[in-house]
Structure 1
Amino acid sequence: MQKHAETQRQHESFVSSTPVSGDMRPVMSGLIPAFRDTSTGEIHLSLDQNGEISTEHSFFHLPKHWVSHSTSSGEAMILMPTIEAGYWRPHHFIAITKHLRLPLDS
């Protein structure tokens, strides 16, 4: 339980350093890169190789059943189709794909 409390404090005090334009910085403040399984709702924060909270999306330490293809050394390369990238903001997940608006060419 103590480990959970320590992790929760880290999550609450974390400020994303994901590169964003200056006018978007207040919007991105407090967002932690994360992944969610759309079939179960399970969410995992993005961690670096050392198991620390990452400032970017990485596949390190994700559940093995989320990985569809990996390298010969076991590193995740491709995630299952039900896994989506997004950001964790205290108490909810924000999917990137739902908020990404690409310009349409003519």
Structure 2
Amino acid sequence: MLQNTEHKTQHRSGQSSTSVISDLKPVMEGLFPAFRDTKTGEVHLSLDQDGKLAQDHSFYNLPNHWISDVDGLGDAVTLIPTVVAGYWRSTGFIAIAKQIYLPLDS
């Protein structure tokens, strides 16, 4: 079980849960935002405008052949359909879409 130093919140159901953000910190350590071309297997870490590791999924410095549309300033706004966002960990690429399972509303 993940430890939490923040206070617990009470749900309407009466069950308490910990803050999502503090629960995710240990899980997210060592993960770097990245993109992968599912057709070729090519992976690139997300970089900011200066070429430094980004903390989010930035389109800066991605290969030109991955970009399908740019804005008026020439910045990428759309990637080709085979490129997916995810995270790089020492064990490899983890696609976001395959790791997130949202509960269905009743």
Q: Which category describes the TM-score, using the shorter chain as reference length? A: 0.7 to 0.9
Distance in 2 of aligned mates of 1:51 and 1:59: 11
1:92 is matched with 92
Gaps of 5+ in 2: 1-19
Amino acid at match of 2:34: A
Instruction: Give 4+ residue runs of structure 1 displaced > 3 Å after superposition.
Output: none
Q: Deviations over 1:33-87 (max 9, x none)?
A: 0000000000000000100011111000001110111112210001111000000
SS in 1 for 2:77: strand
SS in 2 for 1:44: strand
When normalised by structure 2's length, the TM-score is: 0.77
SS in 2 for 1:87: strand
Provide the aligned C-alpha RMSD in A: 1.2
Larger Rg: 2
Distance in 1 of aligned mates of 2:46 and 2:36: 10
SS in 2 for 1:53: coil
When normalised by structure 1's length, the TM-score is: 0.77
The aligned length equals: 87
SS in 2 for 1:59: coil
In the TM superposition, residue 105 of structure 1 has moved relative to its aligned partner by: 2.5
1:4 is matched with none
* Identity among equivalent pairs (%): 59
Gaps of 5+ in 1: 1-19
Amino acid at match of 1:71: D
1:64 is matched with 64
Distance in 1 of aligned mates of 2:83 and 2:102: 21
- Of Structure 1 and Structure 2, the greater helix share is in 1
